[in-house]
Structure 1
Amino acid sequence: MTIIRQMSLFGVQELFEMEPTHRYDAVISALNLDKIYHAVSKKTHLGAPEELNYSAMIISVFIRIVERIPTIKDLVKRLNEDIVFKLNCAFLVSDPTPSEASYSRLITKLEESKILEVVQEQVIIQAITEGFIKDDTIAIDATHFEARDQAPPKVENLDKEPKKRGRKSKEEREEWLAEQAKKEANLPLFEKKIEAQLDASLSELRAQVPKEPKWGIKKNSEGKHVFWFGYKGHLAVSTTSQYIVQSLFSSGNLNDGKAAIPLLKGIQERLSLPALRYETMDAGYDFEPIYQQIYRMGHQSVIAYNKRNESNPEGFDKHFALTCFREHSYRYDSYDAKYETLKYTQPKECVDCSLANEGICQKVYKVKITTDLRRFTAPARGSKAWKTLFKRRTAVERVNAYLKEFFQLNNVRYRTGKRAKVHFDLVTLVYNASKLAANRINALLNQEDQAA
């Protein structure tokens, strides 16, 4: 009788249940600490000597996220009171415990060097190299978290000119349109329409993302508006392996759709994912430029359709499939990637229809997705294949929940957007490092099972 061994399953939650020493070693080993240390350490021997153990300080900053220690003050207190914890953070017994001010300077250096973004990319590339990211679908969504400070009082704009009632004359309208076009041209990149991002470079997009805390609004699961003052984290998550392959930090008032193209360009330009074919998002990302960007990447869009008071074209159903004379919808059959064409076959109800037998209703019709990238997607909207792919979008929602529950995403302790971004980068980096550590342990357990 053949014995089938159950494959070992080891996840992030099991990682957090390990002994502290083993848990820290597993997570920290996934990070390039030498690169971080080089970025924040002194570049010259001139000036006051550094007496602090900077490498241990860096490790303790990551372990603070792992251990869910709420503040730097609490971290310093634990280092002073718990000698075992201090040793686990790679401090020597003789090392002085860094002060809160020392940690503040370290955070400043991390922010100025942008080194956390570099190491984040290295972790993802390492996970791809080791074969842990083979996904064909990426899910994109945003999550909000509040700022440390209370929202400032709203100030009314008393200098705003009252609107002139009545219809504008032709000359006034032309003058107004020219003025609006001039204003649009002078706006910052993320205040322009989304299509302005298509021809912008990735570095330009990331440099101009607004980062200061602002008022944000979003509908909850009950359809009610929720307001908060703070930030947004925008994530592109591999739906099977659940790594954060790209992330973006922004002000809370940034429209979700305006973060999609920077994430997509980051995937296209910085990562090698040959199996990737689909990007799935909710209706908040239903903008024509996003479809265009995904098409330029050679991928397919699986994005929920937002009607925006639009009416369906005559002769088509709500999923933009052709309907027969009796308004039965044609059935999606297949997609021809070579010719970028969707193939539909006649409805089941039309098999015995006299109109079909007389040749009035066609049995097969085809449509190119380039006719309208937003409406004609591959696989076709409403099809079983499309619904299956769209369900994978829950992966990014799951990761958002992990970041808030286990990695302190909603525990921002800094007053400026630049420092809050460091917190966001630390959280996403520790999450990916934990995923990589768990995958490595899982792979080792599977090798032991197969060898037994």
Structure 2
Amino acid sequence: MYIRQNSLFSFDTLMQYQPQTRLSMLFNELDAYPAIKELPAKSVRGPKGYSVAALLRAYVAKQVCGIPTVTKLVERLNTDLVFRYDCGFSTIGSVPSSATFSRFFNILSDNQALKPLFNHLIEQTDRLGIISGDVAAIDASAIVAYEKTVPKKNVIDDGSHANWGAKLDTNGNQHSWFGYKLHLAVDTASELPLAVTVTPASHNDVTQAIPLIDALSHQPKYYCLDSGYDTKETYEEIRRRSAQAIIPLNRRGEKLPPEGLDENRTPTCSMGYSMVYWGCDAKKGILKFRCPHVCEKVNCPNGSAWCSDSNYGLVVKKKVSEDSRSFCTPHRGTREWEKLYNERTSVERVFSRLKEHLGANLIRVRGIQKVTTHLLLCCIALIAGTLAVNRLKKQAA
């Protein structure tokens, strides 16, 4: 016969002497106050007395642990005391019901309470030097809706409902989906999101370029975007902020380049040869090009004297302000330009992490406000996790 003895310490006391879990380290970096202060006063105490901070942490934990639904989240809280303790709920008594979590999620969405928390985390990463801020990449990714698909003719195009979108993949094949688009501005060094917007799937990517740029508190030196953002307005807005757009040309059926320029917008000499890029003055926004014959890139039958009496050869200077789409510093097509543009792939890796590891593609809510809240939770989990890892590295050093 065995007699079970009472525990000398409570569960909460025992947890204080246990090694920190992954969630507890993440939550140490997550100050819920920026979100809580956005909520109505009657909601701060939490439904049925549950802590608002604990409810918010539970939603972040849901993304980190890959829990697909609120029902599964409640089950995890009921069966895993360590998980419950990390989220901040009492280990004695009941946990919030699915309905309680759903009501809290609606309150978060209606008040857009997660945006200040997201911005607060970005400020932390900037202050700690995790974000370099030199190069930002902007792109959009498809988010399939939880709503039932409807024919295009019945879509409500008011900016708040899901609709149909289409995009070409890297092989030129067109893919369509019913849902939304997640638009991100990403720091290419840390691969962390700096700004987030969500639109119905039919909205053109370029419509969100300027809103994302406006949302950045720290303006980078370069913006890397794909050819879908190749519009004069995008170049001018970025140049107005003393930054440079790194965007491939979208020729849109252009048969011939403008007169006096080649396909990369490099000036051509009188014989039609592309001139040689010879550096730039980024502060003044001036690019310098030299005679290709003098630079031994071509063997011009007329030599350099045809265009200039100088032994240095013909020199052409172009100002970015003349045509910010055609001319940029560094010049399009150069090794420096290609190196910067290759950093754009960082935004693709961020989309991959959000979808594969943080549940960005597991949408179980309807309407653009709630979808935005879900995706912000994914981004918050990513940034808070990065802050936790950074602190762990510093402690180990």
* TM score, norm. by length of structure 1: 0.77
Identify if the C-alpha distance between structure 1 residues 93 and 443 changes in structure 2 by more than 3 Å, giving closer, same or farther.
Answer: closer
**Which residue pairs with 2:69 in the alignment?**
71
**Which residue pairs with 2:162 in the alignment?**
213
Paired residue type of 2:275:
Y
Q: Whole-Å Cα distance in 2 between the matches of residues 264 and 441 of structure 1?
A: 32
- The offset of 1:353, in angstroms, is 4.3
Q: Whole-Å Cα distance in 1 between the matches of residues 154 and 161 of structure 2?
A: 20
Deviations 1:370-425 (A, max 9, x none): 11111111111111111111000000011111111101100010122211111011
Deviations 1:230-274 (A, max 9, x none): 01100000111111111111111110000100011112xxx135x
**Which residue pairs with 1:304 in the alignment?**
248
Deviations 1:318-355 (A, max 9, x none): 11112234433212121113432111122234676463
- Superposition map of 1:45-444 within 5 A: 50-155=48-153, 210-267=159-216, 271-273=217-219, 276-310=220-254, 311-347=256-292, 348-349=295-296, 353=300, 355-360=302-307, 362-444=313-395
Native 8 Å contact 2:320 2:328 kept in 1: yes
Native 8 Å contact 1:52 1:96 kept in 2: no
Q: Whole-Å Cα distance in 1 between the matches of residues 154 and 107 of structure 2?
A: 38
Q: Whole-Å Cα distance in 2 between the matches of residues 96 and 420 of structure 1?
A: 29
Give structure 2 stretches of 5+ with no counterpart. Answer: 1-17
Q: Whole-Å Cα distance in 1 between the matches of residues 44 and 198 of structure 2?
A: 35
Deviations 1:195-242 (A, max 9, x none): xxxxxxxxxxxxxx9332111100112211101000110000011111
- The offset of 1:155, in angstroms, is 3.5
- RMSD (Å), alpha carbons: 2.5
Q: Whole-Å Cα distance in 2 between the matches of residues 379 and 232 of structure 1?
A: 31
Paired residue type of 2:286:
T
In percent, how many aligned pairs have the same letter?
32
Identify if the C-alpha distance between structure 1 residues 88 and 257 changes in structure 2 by more than 3 Å, giving closer, same or farther.
Answer: same
Identify if the C-alpha distance between structure 1 residues 20 and 308 changes in structure 2 by more than 3 Å, giving closer, same or farther.
Answer: farther
Native 8 Å contact 1:68 1:407 kept in 2: yes
User: Which piece of structure 1 moves more, 147-156 or 115-124?
Assistant: 147-156
- The offset of 1:20, in angstroms, is 9.5
- The offset of 1:304, in angstroms, is 1.1
- The offset of 1:111, in angstroms, is 1.1
User: Which piece of structure 1 moves more, 310-319 or 244-253?
Assistant: 310-319
Native 8 Å contact 2:36 2:113 kept in 1: no
User: Which piece of structure 1 moves more, 23-32 or 356-365?
Assistant: 356-365
Give structure 1 stretches of 5+ with no counterpart. Answer: 1-18, 158-190, 192-208
* TM score, norm. by length of structure 2: 0.87
